[in-house]
């Protein structure tokens, strides 16, 4: 069986090392173009964008060399957000969109995400075909002749494609009276560094941009959605209405209210669900989230007659469930929110625009809108194991049932293995921190005695 390289968020690793070394990236471009051409019956058009990390330039060049060798036409949007590429793939139209980004990872990592024209991630079947080509060593000749555009022509293409995305976003924000809003925008020195401050300024907000001067190595460095502390302090010192922090490719956003309190993806889902429900736009009264979403959100939504459906962790699974149920809102605690009426890709800037609309139409502050959602205490323990034996085969069922009975309807147990390490993860939420700590350690101890390292 071919080793799996594509995860829920594409291929990711250290830039320059397999599978993100030059030769392999070139194969990815060639393989994608060849399989698209075979399926479509014509030479495909591929739109490409990247975030601000220094390796993005050569990764894009190798990808283009491979794709053009297989007959594809490539269009570069330059430094642009992941959802920006998804939008362009849908609207140009193109036959695929490729994002060169490692999202929230450090600068020395990079990744390749591929979108279908719908804006959805590439189908699993094509990902497996590309993996097969990679491991077959389908070398793309290094003597490929490819005429890269002149610098001025490339800049004109990038400006045109970025402008299309900006116009799309501006259309979503059209009519918002943002003159009353002061917004601190933490761009994580990433893909949103030029786009987000320009957009909110264009829409009339008072914008205080921070971490918006990328140098190729400072993406996500002590800033953005992984390091919210600076944003909290800046919102208070600027007496701002709110703050937003993006990650490196701006497909997610976390918020800070005027008091300096974090509003994560769960909080954003609560605010947006109420807003959409009031407008009769919360289809089927369903919100889709993951197994990591706090039970407090589930309880708060239930009080308004809204059902929470949980999926595995990953925006791909959230989107699958949104499409299956016809729901209109879903997301992750990490701030990755999907609103299918506008985009099938999570888009931190769209989430910000929707949240601003909710605030202005309700004539309330963000901290007022998050009232009614009580975050329940949570404990997460990692147990190192020697094997990933099915939990049901370990004689734990009575203990698990006893824990779930004690938690009742105001608590939750989640037991799963890490996808990348020999770890069992025990997560318990409930009303009482002391109780859930005791229950979690009891279960972790039982797992350790059964399959812990010898």
Residues annotated catalytic, as ranges? 103
- For residue 351, the tally of other CB atoms under 10 A from its CB is 30
Q: Is residue 292 a contact partner of residue 429, using CB atoms and an 8 Å limit?
A: no
Burial (0-12, 13-18, 19+ Cβ within 10 Å), 199: buried
- β strands within 61-196, DSSP E: 73-79, 96-100, 109-115, 182-186
Q: What are the phi and psi torsion angles at 62 (to 5°)?
A: -65, -40
Which pairing describes strands 45-50 and 96-100: parallel, antiparallel, or unpaired?
A: parallel
Q: What are the phi and psi torsion angles at 346 (to 5°)?
A: -60, 135
Sheet of strand 337-338, all strands in order from the earlier edge strand to the far edge: 307-311, 286-290, 330-331, 337-338
CA dihedral 384, 387, 393, 398 (to 10 degrees): 0
**HEC per residue, 240-308:** CCEEEEECCCCCCEEEEECCCCEECHHHHHHHHHHHHHHCCCCHHHEEEEECCCCHHHHHHHHCCCCEE
CA distances from 365 to 176, 228, 260, 354, 356 (A): 15, 19, 12, 14, 10
SS3 100: strand
**Nearest C-alpha neighbor of 290 from the set 257, 262, 266:** 266
DSSP assigned state of 207: E
**Quick one: tokens of 399?**
């203990």
Q: Is residue 272 a contact partner of residue 329, using CB atoms and an 8 Å limit?
A: yes
SS3 231: helix
Q: End-to-end CA distance of the chain: give it in Å, rounded.
A: 30
Residue 342 C-beta-side C-alpha neighbours within 13 Å: 23
Q: How many helices (H) and strands (E) does the chain have?
A: 14, 17
């Amino acid at each position: 069986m071919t080793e799996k390289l594509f995860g829920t968020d594409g291929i990711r690793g250290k830039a320059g090392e397999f599978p993100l070394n030059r030769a392999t990236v070139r194969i990815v471009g060639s393989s994608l173009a060849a399989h698209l051409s075979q399926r479509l019956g014509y030479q495909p058009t591929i739109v490409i964008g990247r975030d601000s990390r220094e390796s993005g330039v050569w990764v894009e060049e190798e990808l283009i060399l491979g794709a053009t060798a297989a007959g594809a036409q490539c269009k570069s949007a330059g430094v642009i957000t992941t959802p920006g590429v998804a939008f362009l793939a849908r609207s140009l139209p193109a036959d695929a969109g490729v994002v060169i980004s490692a999202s929230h990872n450090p600068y020395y990592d990079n990744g390749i995400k591929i979108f279908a024209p719908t804006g959805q991630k590439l189908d699993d079947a094509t990902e497996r075909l590309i993996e097969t080509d990679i491991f077959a060593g389908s070398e793309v000749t290094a003597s490929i002749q490819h005429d890269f555009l002149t610098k001025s022509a490339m800049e004109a293409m990038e400006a045109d494609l970025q402008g299309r995305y900006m116009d799309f976003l501006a259309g979503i924000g059209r009519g918002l009276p943002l003159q009353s809003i002061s917004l601190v925008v933490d761009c994580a020195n990433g893909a949103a560094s030029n786009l987000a401050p320009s957009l909110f300024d264009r829409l009339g907000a008072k914008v205080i941009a921070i971490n918006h001067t990328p140098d190729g190595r400072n993406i996500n460095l002590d800033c953005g959605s992984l390091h919210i502390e600076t944003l909290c302090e800046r919102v208070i010192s600027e007496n701002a209405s709110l703050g937003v922090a993006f990650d490196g490719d701006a497909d997610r956003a976390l918020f800070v209210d005027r008091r300096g309190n974090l509003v994560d993806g769960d909080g954003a889902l609560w605010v947006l669900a109420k807003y959409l429900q009031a407008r009769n736009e919360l289809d089927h009264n369903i919100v889709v989230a993951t197994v990591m979403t706090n039970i407090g959100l589930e309880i708060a939504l239930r009080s308004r007659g809204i059902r929470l459906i949980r999926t595995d962790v990953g925006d791909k699974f959230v989107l699958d469930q949104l499409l299956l149920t016809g729901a209109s809102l879903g997301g992750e605690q990490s701030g990755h929110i999907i609103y299918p009426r506008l985009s099938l890709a999570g888009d931190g800037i769209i989430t910000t625009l929707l949240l601003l609309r909710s605030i202005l139409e309700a004539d309330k502050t963000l901290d007022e809108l998050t009232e009614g959602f009580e975050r329940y205490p949570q404990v997460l323990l990692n147990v190192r194991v020697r094997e990933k034996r099915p939990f049901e085969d370990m004689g734990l069922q009575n203990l698990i049932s006893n824990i779930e009975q004690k938690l009742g309807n105001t608590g939750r147990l989640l037991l799963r293995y890490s996808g990348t390490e020999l770890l069992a993860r025990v997560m318990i939420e409930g009303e009482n921190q002391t109780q859930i700590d005791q229950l979690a350690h009891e279960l972790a101890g039982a797992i350790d005695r059964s399959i812990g390292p010898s």
